[in-house]
């Protein structure tokens, strides 16, 4: 991904130059519009009647456009937050590097960010994270024709490794001594593997799990490693936005308590294992 903030944002001619494409999430409808307002519990929102979520598309199974609507695990969880606040969720597609800096939160374009984002000390300097909502691992996916059987083989055989730019997968690969080819999005990563630009990729396991559901991908690629890096995902809000963060944490807690979390996990990701090691490659 290019580090220039504007490159990834998808712009509509009718919008301002700094805004990405506004897409309706899940089965929600657009908000009432207008300026800033308040939701239930006194939570301040940047646009009256809606909860505006920054994300980065596509990143299935967490968020992607399906049949003209943005859907996925993250989207479904934030829909629960919006419902609790008495508003509707709207999605704003923005560059992933924005989530490290909190730029769109600080500028008042989004209320929160949901992008399959790992909680890290560096990111905590710029944004406030919700409670963790997902335990993640990194996966190594390779072309079946490559002769690669592990991440170590990539280096030993002089093969090329692909990652998604600005992600912890990219950070991990560099720490292991690789000089990876960085792609703008998860779609670009898999396309790089398909085209032979790279022979292996390191990316979040649930993404690989989703790719391998497609028979053509399963026929061409195989999983050769699952790297338990101890990562956890969180949603982010502008620093000091404690009321919204509390509302997000409540929605996560309630969803886990009443079975909704498990249902959504199985819908979007796969078999649910509530242990800290979930998800696994088995």
pLDDT in tens, 248-267: 999 999 999 999 999 999 99
Does residue 158 belong to any structural domain of this protein?
A: yes
CA distance 69 to 279: 26
Q: Are 176 and 78 in the same domain?
A: no
Comparing CA positions, the residue from 250, 280, 258 lying closest to residue 82 is 250
Does residue 278 belong to any structural domain of this protein?
A: no
Q: Are 117 and 148 in the same domain?
A: no
With 0-12 / 13-18 / 19 or more C-beta atoms within 10 angstroms meaning exposed / middle / buried, residue 71 is buried
**pLDDT at res. 4:** 30
Q: What is the pTM of this model?
A: 0.73
Q: Are 176 and 209 in the same domain?
A: yes
Q: Are 220 and 239 in the same domain?
A: no
CA distance 143 to 154: 11
Q: Are 251 and 226 in the same domain?
A: no
Beta strands in the chain (DSSP E): 22-24, 37-38, 44-45, 50-55, 64-66, 69-71, 88-93, 112-113, 127-129, 134-143, 161-164, 181-183, 200-204, 221-233, 236-238
Q: Are 119 and 144 in the same domain?
A: no
Total number of domains in the chain: 2
- State the CATH number of the domain containing residue 248: 3.40.190.10
Residue range(s) defining the domain that contains residue 205 = 136-231
Q: Are 226 and 241 in the same domain?
A: no
Confidence band of 60 (pLDDT split at 50, 70, 90): confident
Q: Which residue has the tokens 């949603």?
A: 235
Torsion angle defined by CA atoms of residues 41, 238, 58 and 202, in that order, rounded to the nearest 10 degrees: -130
Q: Are 98 and 47 in the same domain?
A: yes
Does residue 82 belong to any structural domain of this protein?
A: yes
**Comparison of pLDDT for 115 and 4, the residue scoring more:** 115
pLDDT in tens, 116-152: 898 999 999 999 999 999 988 899 999 999 999 999 9
SS3 70: strand
The angle at the Cα of 178, spanning 176 to 183, to the nearest 5 degrees, equals: 120
Q: Are 218 and 253 in the same domain?
A: no
CA distance 187 to 256: 30
**pLDDT at res. 170:** 93
pLDDT in tens, 145-172: 999 999 999 999 999 999 999 888 999 9
Does residue 183 belong to any structural domain of this protein?
A: yes
Q: Are 247 and 124 in the same domain?
A: yes
Does residue 277 belong to any structural domain of this protein?
A: no
Q: Are 199 and 155 in the same domain?
A: yes
Q: Are 182 and 226 in the same domain?
A: yes
Q: Kindly state the average pLDDT of the residues 204-224.
A: 91
């Amino acid at each position: 991904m290019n580090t220039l903030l504007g490159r990834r944002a998808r712009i509509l001619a009718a919008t301002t130059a700094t805004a990405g494409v506004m897409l309706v999430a899940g089965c929600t409808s657009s908000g009432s519009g207008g300026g800033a307002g308040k939701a239930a519990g006194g939570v301040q929102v940047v646009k009256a009647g809606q909860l505006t979520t920054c994300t980065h598309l596509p990143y299935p199974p967490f968020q992607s456009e399906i049949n003209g609507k943005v859907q996925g695990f993250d989207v479904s969880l934030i829909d629960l937050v919006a419902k609790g606040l008495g508003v509707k969720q709207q999605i704003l597609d923005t560059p992933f590097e924005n989530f490290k800096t909190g730029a769109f939160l600080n500028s008042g374009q989004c209320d929160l960010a949901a992008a399959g984002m790992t909680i890290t000390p560096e990111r905590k300097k710029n944004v406030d994270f919700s409670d963790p909502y997902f335990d993640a691992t990194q996966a190594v996916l390779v072309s079946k024709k490559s002769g690669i059987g592990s991440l170590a083989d990539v280096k030993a055989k002089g093969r090329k490794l692909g990652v998604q730019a600005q992600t912890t997968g990219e950070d991990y690969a560099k720490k292991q001594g690789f000089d990876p080819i960085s792609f703008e999005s998860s779609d670009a990563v898999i396309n790089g593997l398909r085209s032979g630009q790279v022979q292996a990729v390191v990316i979040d396991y649930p993404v690989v799990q989703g790719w391998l559901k497609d028979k053509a991908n399963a026929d061409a690629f195989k999983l050769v490693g699952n790297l338990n890096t101890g990562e956890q995902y969180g949603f982010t809000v502008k620093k000091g936005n404690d009321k919204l963060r509390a509302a997000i944490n409540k929605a996560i807690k309630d969803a886990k308590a009443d079975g909704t979390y498990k249902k959504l996990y199985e819908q979007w990701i796969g078999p649910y294992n509530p242990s800290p090691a979930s998800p696994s490659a088995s």
